Amino acid sequence: MTTGYKTILVTPLSRFVGAEISGINIAEGLSKQQFLEVKQAFVAHGVIFMRNQNITPDQHIEFAERWGEITVNRFFQAVASHPVIAEVRKEVHQKSNIGSSWHTDHSYDYAPAMGSILYARAVPKVGGDTLFSSMYAAYDHLSDGMKNTLNRMRAEHSSRHAFGATAYVGLDDVEGRLGNVTKATQDAVHPVVIKHPLSGKLALYVNGDFTVKFEGWSKQESQPLLDYLYLHAYKNEFTCRFKWTQGSMAIWDNRATQHCALNDYDGEFRLMHRITISGECLEPSVM
């Protein structure tokens, strides 16, 4: 357990990333001090988890608005009654799930999302865990030579290949879950190593879903180094694993972590509600 908190209990899940928080009830509301300490834990651990939260969609939105402005995902099916909430749904008959490869959300945006608040409404009896990896640890454990090389590099990110029309070729069970292929027109360039806007720490910022290539490099030249960085970023020792239960919530920092949703629950239903919080343009590690 982590000391230094007066109103909440913070229990780290691994050395580098993730902590469970207890002592709060979102439905009843958080005091100013509680919320400050929750944000403190968020910055310290990259992703925080809370269990046994019985909240309505309105309470989910109200809680999210305390973190910042909500950004609506353009490609996920929204909750009909609450369009700022995205559904992360897998029906019993569907084989593929959403988010099964390591990634960080919205890196294709000019100002990437700060983070996401994911709430479990229905979970399988077994399986469906989510893995998180620390991009601080990924950067810190690179060699000095690699750090010096990456510190001055930038990379191109895009939504076109991930959510555009060609992304759905051969997939037969995305209907009702993903769409708006005509809106997959976002391209952005970000530093490969960023200075985190809250912690000031340096973090690796490339991901397999949305990073296309290094700025000034061809895709062919970029791919070997990107592949190395992806494998390095997801090393087991940099990660934690969260087992979902109904009513649990995760709040993760897209600038400090990446995540991967395991697809190991064929024949079972899973429904999560996700709200994404707007972020800001990312600063490089060196100016």
Amino acid residing at 198:
L
Pairing relation of β-strands 19-22 and 47-50?
Answer: parallel
Annotated catalytic, 60?
no
Can you say how many angstroms the Cα of residue 4 is from the centroid of all Cα atoms in its chain?
A: 26
Q: Which of 105, 109, 209, 253 is catalytic?
A: 105
- Is 82 an active-site residue? no
The one-letter code for the residue type at 223 is: Q
From the candidates 45, 177, 196, 274, which is the catalytic residue? 274
Cα dihedral 271/241/84/95 (nearest 10): -40
HSE-CB for 77 with a 13 A CA cutoff: 14
Q: Cα-atom radius of gyration of the chain, to the nearest Å?
A: 18
- Catalytic residue (one of 103, 177, 196, 255): 103
Strand segments (E) across 140-248: 154-158, 187-191, 193-195, 202-204, 211-214, 239-242
Specify whether 58 is catalytic.
Answer: no
Residue 259: active-site member: yes
Alpha carbons 277 and 120: distance in angstroms, whole number: 18
Q: Which of 89, 106, 190, 259 is catalytic?
A: 259
Cα–Cα distance for residue pair 267/94, rounded to 1 Å: 8
Max alpha carbon distance in the chain (Å)? 53
Any idea which residues carry the catalytic annotation? Answer: 103, 105, 259, 274
